[in-house]
Amino acid sequence: MANDLFEAARAAQEKAYAPYSNFPVGAAIRAGSGAIYTGCNVENASYPEGWCAETSAIGQMVVAGDLRIVEICVIGSADMVITPCGGCRQRLAEFSSPETRVFAAGPDGIRATYTMADLLPAAFSLEQDRSE
Ligand code: THU
């Protein structure tokens, strides 16, 4: 993975609004056009109304007119591998292929690499042909 995606995710993480969990997350998507879109988690005093970094980045991508995710890097601070939550996996799948790469990073760099097929096998889709 090119370092620019990691650096973009790290810069987005610094903008995270996470006063309730103290768990800042950043995400950076490299889209079909080559552009990078970033997002951070945005929490809320009404806890369930907050949303994830990946969801923020998808919004940035779509409003810019890009609709294909080539790869995404997600970065957290904890001493663990941060992977997208179940809801975000479904949102990412909307704009991904099974081969789309998902990099899970910490402040030190990439800790694990997945594909969307790894993270969301047998994904729900209205279009996908599952016969193959
Ligand atoms: N979070 C993300 O932004 N992305 C993930 O992949 C996992 C979790 C956020 C949601 C919440 O603001 C905080 O991390 C703790 O769950």
Catalytic residue among 7, 54, 94, 132: 54
- pLDDT score of 42: 98
Q: What's the pLDDT tens digit per position in 19-64? A: 999 999 999 999 999 999 999 999 999 999 999 999 999 999 999 9
**Residue 43 sits in a domain of what CATH number?**
3.40.140.10
What is the pLDDT confidence band of residue 124, given thresholds at 50, 70 and 90?
Answer: confident
Q: Provide the domain count of the chain.
A: 1
Q: What is the pLDDT of residue 130?
A: 46
Separation between Cα atoms, residue 93 and residue 73, nearest integer Å? 15
Tokens (6 digits) for 33: 């056009």
pLDDT of residue 128: 56
The mean of the pLDDT values for the chain is 94
Question: What is the Å distance from ligand 1's center to 110 Cα?
Answer: 17
pLDDT at 78: 85
Task: Quote the domain boundaries for residue 94.
Answer: 2-131
- What does the pLDDT average to over 62-71? 98
**Phi/psi of residue 78, nearest 5 degrees:** -70, 165
Dist. CA 52 → ligand 1 center (Å): 5
**Is residue 71 annotated as part of the catalytic site, yes or no?**
no
The pLDDT of residue 129: 54
